[in-house]
Every structure is written in structure tokens, then in C-alpha cells.
Amino acid sequence: MPIRAVFLDRDGTINLEKNYVHRIEDFEFVPGAIEALQLLSRANIDIMIVSNQAGIAKGFFSEADLTALNEHMRGQLLYHAVRLTGIYCCPHHPEGTVPRYSQLCSCRKPQPGLLIAAMQERGIGRSEAVMVGDRNSDIEAGRAAGVTTYLVETGYGASEKHSTNATYVVADLLTAVRHILGEHKNPPAQ
């Protein structure tokens, strides 16, 4: 079955990992990420971001800060003809300092709650979606949702690739997308 949706982690996959990115001036795309997202858009594949944002639970930034940053990213991508289908974020962390968000939940990766909710909302089957991220928590969320997974070596991926259960390990988002779209006949090296 053809791929209808790509779930993407944000920090370390789409933008450079800078430890709780929440200010617009700190947001910077990973090289090749915009091109990768353009390829997905041209192929009419839903692009959905699924992101843990524990900085909210830890009191580092607010939901308003996150919304502003996500809208900035969405605007930058629209400028490059990329439309995001959805942005799903988990603000929780069991060791948070903000009581409202200090909890265990089913939406914090490696739990698959964000992916499952998005798949149900849009009627997407397991064989029609993939998960791309730079952490093993992204990979485990994808596996728990029953989708193919790609660990990118940007962000934390270079250090986590030796202990991953990802379907594929690739250099970056652009390499993953080219494989997803069938531009690479052989799977990337693991």
C-alpha cells in the first residue's frame, strides 16, 4: 500500500537540536529538511509532526511559546510550499515542576498516543504511515503504532543508532524521504 502519512519528530529531525528549542531565534532547519518536506508535499503525503515538549512540564517555556514557535515553523514551510497536515505535541513529563503537566501519559513518546490519535483522526492504516525521528523514543512510538520507522543520524540519532530497533537507520531526513518515495531502490544501510 502506498504511504499516505509521514510522522516526524521535530527537534533533531526537522530542526537542529539545541536543548529545549522554544525561541524563534533559536530555530534552525536541519540541512536538507526543507527539501525533504517539499518532496513529501509534492507527493501529496500528509506531513504530521509528533513531538515531546517536556520543557512545558519543566517550566522552561509556556504553551504560548510553543504555539508561537510552531506557527513560525509552519509559516517558514508554507513559504517553501510545504503544508503541514498537523502538529501534535505532548507537554507532559512525569518529573515536571508544573503540576498540571507533571504526569505519566499515553502521548509522551515512546508511548504511541500521538501517532494513534492522528491515524484515527485521518483514517490512516499502519501500512500507510512511517515514523521518522532522531531518538529511540520516536522509534519505539512508531513500532508500538505498528508503522515502519527511520532513525536519522541528526540530533541524537548518531549516538542512539547502536541500540535502536528502527527499521532503517539513515543519515538525515532527506535520505529517509528519498527512500520512502522509492528514489533509493535499496534500503539505506543500517
Mean pLDDT confidence for 12-38 = 96
The catalytic residues are 9, 11
* Residue 116 counted as domain residue: yes
pLDDT at 173: 98
pLDDT digits (tens, 9 = 90+) for 27-56: 999 999 999 999 999 999 999 999 999 999
Q: What is the CATH number of the domain that holds 114?
A: 3.40.50.1000
Domain count, the chain: 1
Could you give the 3-state DSSP secondary structure of residue 118? helix
* Residue 189 counted as domain residue: no
Contact predicate 162/184, CB 8 Å: no
pLDDT at 186: 54
Place of cell 532547519: 29
**Residue 6, number of CB atoms within 10 A of its CB:** 26
pLDDT grade for 187, boundaries at 50, 70 and 90:
low
- How many residues comprise the chain? 190
pLDDT grade for 184, boundaries at 50, 70 and 90:
low
Interatomic CA distance for residues 79 and 155, integer angstroms:
25
* Residue 109 counted as domain residue: yes
pLDDT at 183: 72
Give the residue numbers spanning the domain of 34.
5-180
Is residue 110 exposed (0-12), middle (13-18) or buried (19+ Cβ within 10 Å)? middle
Asked whether the predicted pLDDT for residue 103 surpasses 70, the reply is yes
Q: What is the pTM of this model?
A: 0.94
pLDDT grade for 105, boundaries at 50, 70 and 90:
very high
* Residue 188 counted as domain residue: no
* Residue 117 counted as domain residue: yes
Interatomic CA distance for residues 145 and 41, integer angstroms:
23
Amino acid present at 43: A
The overall longest dimension of the chain from CA atoms, in Å, is 49
pLDDT digits (tens, 9 = 90+) for 114-155: 999 999 999 999 999 999 999 999 999 999 999 999 999 999
C-alpha angle 9/10/13, rounded to 5°?
75
The x, y and z cell numbers of residue 22, run together, are: 522554544
| Best CA proximity match to 48, nearest among 11, 13, 5 | 5
pLDDT at 19: 87
Asked whether the predicted pLDDT for residue 190 surpasses 70, the reply is no
